[in-house]
Chains A and B, each alone.
Chain A
Amino acid sequence: MTDPILKVRGLTKSFGGLVATRDVDLDLRAGEIHALIGPNGAGKSTLVQLISGALRPDAGSVQFGGQDVSALTTAARARKGMARTFQISSLAMEYSVLQNVVLGALGRRGDVFRFFNRVMKDQQLLKVAEKALVQVGLQDVRAFRTSDLSHGQRRQLEVAVALTLDPKAFLMDEPMAGLGAEGSQQLQGFLDQLRHQAPILLIEHDMDAVFALADRISVLVYGEIIATGTVDEIRGNPAVRQAYLGEVAE
């Protein structure tokens, strides 16, 4: 087995008296979708923020691509290929669809301090951007203003921007949130393919999607991972059933 792309060890974070993340170990291996589930308030978003660098942990480490990135900022982790999509679409709303993906490609290439080039005519950036748009199926709306997109299209655009970062791993915070049944299905099919490009750490509420997609599942309850395993192992785990699935009509 090759080393995991993302390796989280002993991650702990508390806010005052509340321990939001408690001694979390987590691996993301090449080619897999690793789903992170848990009831509301389990600390999923906190964990994502710790991994992406938006929050500083009290203890523990995050290793990415064989390197300790615990001390790096969000931006530095992104440059190393950690591509995050947000629970609530986080895009440059006044920009066109194309500008958003070109921004991704530019951020990845890193030369933002150029003052007299024509960035929207940069063939290298456009090529990367166009490829990402085609991959998510947004090529026909490239000239649309992002604020004019539907909710589902914004979610797709988030993924497209993540694709421009030449990602080594995806961190997806509830990509299905707010999508209709059809949209969910589409995105599900897409993520199914995407895992071969780079592994996905998937935070998701939609249990059908999780069970259909995930290679492995980790269950987070009160900031602690109570079980990690394959879909079947998690389905059969009594502690998980009691803590979590029992609340859902199974």
Chain B
Amino acid sequence: MTRESCLNVVLMGLLLAVPLAAWALDEPFIITLTTRAVIFAIAGVGLNLALGFGGLVSFGHAAFFGLGGYAMGILAYHAQTYTPLMDWPFVIEGTKSMLVIWPVAIVASGLAALAIGALSLRTSGVYFIMITLAFGQMFFYFTISWSAYGGEDGLSIYVRNSFPGLNTMDPIQFFAICYGLLLLVLWGVHRMANASFGLALRAARQNEERLQAVGQVPYRLYLTAFAISGAITGLAGALFADLNRFVSPSMLSWQTSGEIMVFVILGGVGRVYGPVAGAALFILLEHTLGGLSPYWHVYLGAILLGVVLFARGGIFGLLAGREVAHD
């Protein structure tokens, strides 16, 4: 077992042990905090597919996060007010079932990523960052002015959505759902990274000329990665909205995009489990430093600066060393 896979196991073990201990000690707040970290981790793992494996520095992933959130919010809102989502040409009812909400969130944000990616990927470098930021802001201002769904105030959901056989209002049960999804997403991304697609995508990031010389087109790989990346982040958004029973435009703000990027960079760009470590550390810092001062972001900034300057591989680069090419 490599050092990296050891670290993966330890990380996932800790992420499971903390809320279980909190459950035993009856500390629901800690469970909710860990659930937050797990959901952020899913968003980060999604972004990492584009940023880490494809080298696509997207500053607009909040749009997909928020889209997932609104997919959940809108469906649940219509279900709780007993109004149909639309009644012409056919009737679509709202729903409180997670098993319906998740696919809707995934498809909606995946399609949005496909459209945004198709346009943005015609640029690269700084221009790509700016254009994804611009698209993100577009979605942000749209939700602010979308008065049918609360506009600036957002939407509140009275009860968490339902999952067959579980009581989702119980913190530990909702945590279990999120943790299970994180495992599933990690497994999928890990397989993808080691599949034909991953080999070609990571090669495109390193050297587009090389990829073309072996007969492949970077654009298609980038676009596919971007769409899948957006879809995963959208799923995280649906969970995040469910956790808070609230969705608002702040989920789509550029600060959210920045935070998701921080998870990836803190944890280790291009490492499958990197964003999990990043998100966990972020929540830990937010909780501990946030208690000291409302301006705790200053310390976060200093830590981020340290990581970028002295530990470029993030937590994973520091603890697991250079990536092992293959076994």
Q: Does A211 contact B (CB under 8 A)?
A: no
A115 to B191, CA, bound (A): 7
Contact A78 B196 (CB under 8 A): no
With A119-B195, A119-B196, A119-B198 known as contacts, the answer to whether A98 contacts B326 (CB < 8 A) is yes
Contact of A90 among B192, B194, B198, B207 (CB under 8 A): B207
Q: Which residue of B lies closest to A110 (CB)?
A: B215
CB contact between B215 and one of A76, A113, A114, A122 (< 8 Å): that residue: A76
When the two chains form their complex, are residues A74 and B325 in contact, meaning their CB atoms are under 8 A apart?
A: no
A78's closest neighbor in chain B, by CB?
Answer: B215
User: Do the beta carbons of A99 and B197 come within 8 Å of each other?
Assistant: no
A-B contact count (CB 8 A): 113
List 21 A-B pairs, Cβ < 8 Å.
Answer: A75-B217, A83-B213, A90-B207, A92-B202, A92-B210, A93-B207, A95-B325, A99-B199, A103-B200, A106-B200, A106-B214, A110-B216, A111-B196, A112-B197, A112-B200, A115-B192, A115-B195, A116-B195, A118-B195, A143-B325, A145-B325
Also in contact, A106 and B196, with CB within 8 A (given A73-B217, A78-B214, A93-B207) = yes
Closest to A104 in B: B214
Which of the residues B194, B213, B325 comes within 8 Å of A78, measured between beta carbons? B213
A31 CB within 8 Å of chain B = no
Least Cβ–Cβ distance between B52 and chain A, in angstroms? 12
Bound CA span A224–B195, Å = 46
Q: From the candidates A78, A110, A115, name the one contacting B197 in the complex (CB within 8 A).
A: A115
Asked if B323 lies at the interface with its beta carbon under 8 angstroms from chain A, I say: yes
Interface contact B192-A116, CB-CB below 8 Å: yes
Q: Is the CB of B199 within 8 A of A103?
A: yes
Contact A165 B215 (CB under 8 A): yes
**Is A102 engaged at the interface, CB distance under 8 Å to the other chain?**
yes
Cβ-based interface call for A94 (8 A): yes
Q: How far is the CB of A136 from chain B (nearest CB, A)?
A: 16
Contact with A along B211-232 (1 / 0, CB 8 A): 1111111001100100000000
Chain B contact surface mostly: helix
What is the CA–CA distance of A117 and B217 in the complex, to the nearest angstrom?
20
15 more contacts with CB within 8 A, not counting A95-B203, A96-B325, A113-B197, are A75-B212, A75-B217, A78-B215, A86-B209, A90-B210, A92-B202, A94-B323, A98-B325, A106-B199, A107-B215, A110-B215, A119-B194, A120-B199, A161-B213, A161-B214
Does B145 interact with chain A (Cβ within 8 Å)? no
B191 contacts across to A, CB distance below 8 A: 115-116
Most buried by B among A93, A102, A112: A112
A residues 65-107 touching B (CB-CB < 8 Å): 73-76, 78-79, 83-84, 86, 90-96, 98-99, 102-104, 106-107
> In the docked arrangement, what's the CA distance between A119 and B213, Å?
19
A93–B323 alpha-carbon span in the complex (Å): 13
User: Using Cβ atoms and an 8 Å threshold, which residues of chain A touch B215?
Assistant: 75-76, 78-79, 107-108, 110, 165
| B206 close to A (CB within 8 Å) | yes
Q: A92-B203, A106-B199 are in contact. Are A120 and B326 (CB under 8 A)?
A: yes
A84 lies within 8 A of B213 (CB): yes
Question: A103: which of B192, B214, B217 is its contact (CB, 8 Å)?
Answer: B214
User: What distance in Å separates the Cβ of B312 from its nearest Cβ neighbour in chain A?
Assistant: 13
List the B side residues contacting A92 at CB < 8 Å.
Answer: 202-203, 206-207, 210
- Measured between alpha carbons, how far is A112 from B200 in the docked complex, in Å? 7
Q: From residue B321, how far is it (CB to closest CB) to chain A in Å?
A: 12
Interface pair A102/B199, CB less than 8 Å apart = yes
Q: In this complex, what residue of B is CB-closest to A161?
A: B214
The smallest beta-carbon distance between A115 and chain B, in angstroms, is 5
